[in-house]
Amino acid sequence: MATQMGSEEEFKTTIAEYLEALPTQFCRRVFSSPAACLAIFRLLPTVGKQLIMSMLYLDAPLQLQDVSQWAKPEHQRMVKAKVHQLRKLQLLAEDAGSVWLNPIFREQLRNALTGGGDFSSFGIPYTGPREARVDPKRLA
Position 127 scores a pLDDT of 78
Position 1 scores a pLDDT of 45
Residue type at 129? P
pLDDT in tens, 97-110: 899 999 999 999 99
Residue 108 · residue 27 · CB < 8 Å: no
**Nearest-angstrom CA–CA distance, 51 and 86:** 9
pTM, two decimals, is 0.74
Q: Is 79 left (phi over 0), alpha (psi -120 to 50) or beta?
A: alpha
pLDDT in tens, 76-134: 888 888 999 999 999 999 998 899 999 999 999 999 988 877 666 666 767 778 776 77
pLDDT in tens, 34-43: 989 999 999 9
Of the candidates 8, 14, 35, 30, which has an alpha carbon nearest to the alpha carbon of residue 91?
30
Q: What percent of the chain has pLDDT over 90?
A: 39
